[in-house]
Structures are given as C-alpha cells and as structure tokens.
Amino acid sequence: MFIWNTANGHIVSSVQLYPSVLSEAPKCAAWGGFVKDVKLRSTTNYQFAMSGGRKLVMWQLNPVVGQCSNELVNTGMMVREYTCMTYSKNQEDFLYAGTTSGDLCGFQVKNKIFVFSVNLCAQGIKTLRAVTNT
C-alpha cells in the first residue's frame, strides 16, 4: 500500500499488506479523518480502515514521519466478506460496513469492536454513504 500526498505527489508512507496484515488483497477502504485522543479531540494522525480476507483493519498514519500502524477490529461472530465501508459523519465514532450477505454492520472506532448488525438485502451491499441531517 502506498499513501501519496496529492498536493505535491510525494509518497508519504508504504506498507506491505499481503500476507503480513491481510490474508488476501484488500476489497475496500474508507477514509476517516483524524484519530481522536482520550478526550475525543482530533490529533494530527489520520485514520482509515481497510478490509479483505474476512478481516477489518483500522489504520493510523503519522504524516510527519510517514509511519503507519494497524489494529485488527474485533468482529465477534460477524465473520463476513466486507464489500464497502464508511465512517459516521461529524465525529467519525462509528465505522459502517456492508457485506456480501446483505448485512450492515456497525463498529465502534474508539474500542474497535462490533456493535450491531442489520440484514438489509439478499444480494449484498455494494456501496454506503454516511449523511447528516443538516
């Protein structure tokens, strides 16, 4: 995986994903703004999520040194093939993921745990978009 600075075209960071992090090629990724500290204030590190091989991984990028770190999300009994993801708006406190089996799964970003699942359709969820009421 390569992360570029689109303003100047320089590579900020690179990480080998397969087989060290994911057991197969990533299926989807979602941008999540800034990592929150203990008091839920934004830090200078960026966050994003990636899925592949029935796993969800949350990443942090320190743009100053170009270091990426990852943490596996505890999906509990929801072992699914995740096809799309999006972070909740405003605070990015939840990560929503669609699956090939038609389930919408919600994960808490702070503790990286599975929170809920709703079966929405039979043919799988292809895309998600978080919106606000304003």
Residue 129 inside a domain? The answer is no
**Once rounded to an integer, what is the mean pLDDT over residues 12-23?**
85
Which residues neighbour 16 within 8 Å (Cβ) at sequence distance 6 or greater?
1
Tokens of 36: 């929150």
CATH code assigned at 72: 2.130.10.10
DSSP 75: -
Residue 130 inside a domain? The answer is no
Place of tokens 């389930």: 103
What confidence tens digit (pLDDT) does each residue in 71-94 have? 999 998 889 999 999 999 877 889
pLDDT score, position 16: 87
pLDDT score, position 17: 82
Tokens of 51: 């899925």
pLDDT surpassing 80 at residue 133: no
pLDDT surpassing 80 at residue 129: yes
Domain of residue 71: give its range: 2-119
pLDDT score, position 127: 93
Residue 79 inside a domain? The answer is yes
Residue 134 inside a domain? The answer is no
pTM: predicted TM-score of the whole model, two decimal places: 0.89
Burial class (CB in 10 A: 0-12, 13-18, 19+), 50: buried
Strands 82-87 and 94-99: antiparallel
Residue 132 inside a domain? The answer is no
Residue 131 inside a domain? The answer is no
Whether residue 124 contacts residue 100, with contact meaning beta carbons closer than 8 Å, is answered with yes
Residue 94 inside a domain? The answer is yes
Quote the number of domains for the chain. Answer: 1
Q: How confident is the model at residue 134 (pLDDT cuts 50, 70, 90)?
A: low
| Cis check: omega of the bond before 19, within 30 degrees of 0 | yes
